[in-house]
Amino acid sequence: MFRSIAALLAAVSCVAVAQAQEAPALTAVAAPYTLEQAVAAAGGSAPAVQAAQAGVEAAQAGRRVASLRPNPTIQTQVENIAGSGAYSGFRSAESTVSVAIPIELGGKRSARIAVADAQTDRALLVSAITKADIRLQVTQLYVEAVAAERRVQTARDQSRIAGDAANAARVRVQAGRASPIEEQRANVAKINADAELVRTIRLAQASRANLERRVGQPMGGPLDTAWLESLPRGYGPEMPPSAAGTLALAAAGADLAIADANVRLANSQRVPNLEAGPGLRRLSGTNDTALIFTVTMPIPIFNSGKASVAQAQAQRNQAEAQKRMTALDVEQAITDAQTAASNAAVTAQTATGPALEAAQEAARIARIGYREGKFGQLDLLDAERTLSETRLAAIDALASYQNARAQLERLAAPAPEQGN
Does 239 score more than 80 pLDDT?
no
Residue 417 lies in a domain: no
Minimal CA–CA distance to 257: which of 125, 118, 126, 110?
A: 118
- 0.85 cut: is pTM over it? no
Q: Evaluate if residue 5 carries a pLDDT over 50.
A: no
With a cut of 50, say whether residue 28 has pLDDT above it: no
Local confidence band at 399 (pLDDT 50, 70, 90 cut-offs):
very high
Residue 17 lies in a domain: no
Cα–Cα distance for residue pair 39/209, rounded to 1 Å: 15
- Rounded Cα distance between 31 and 225, Å, is 12
| Residue 389 within a domain | yes
pLDDT 10s digits, 260-277: 999 999 999 999 999 999
pLDDT at 30: 66
pLDDT tens per residue across span 99-142: 999 999 999 999 999 999 999 999 999 999 999 999 999 999 99
Residue-number span of the structural domain to which 389 is assigned: 104-270+305-411
Mean pLDDT of 171-187: 77
In a domain, 290, yes or no: no
Q: Which of 1-5, 83-87, 180-184, 302-306 has the lowest mean pLDDT?
A: 1-5
CATH number of residue 362's parent domain: 1.20.1600.10
Three-state SS for 114? Answer: helix
| Rounded Cα–Cα distance for residues 31 and 40 (Å) | 16
Q: How many domains does the chain have?
A: 1
Going by pLDDT thresholds of 50, 70 and 90, the confidence category of residue 97 is very high
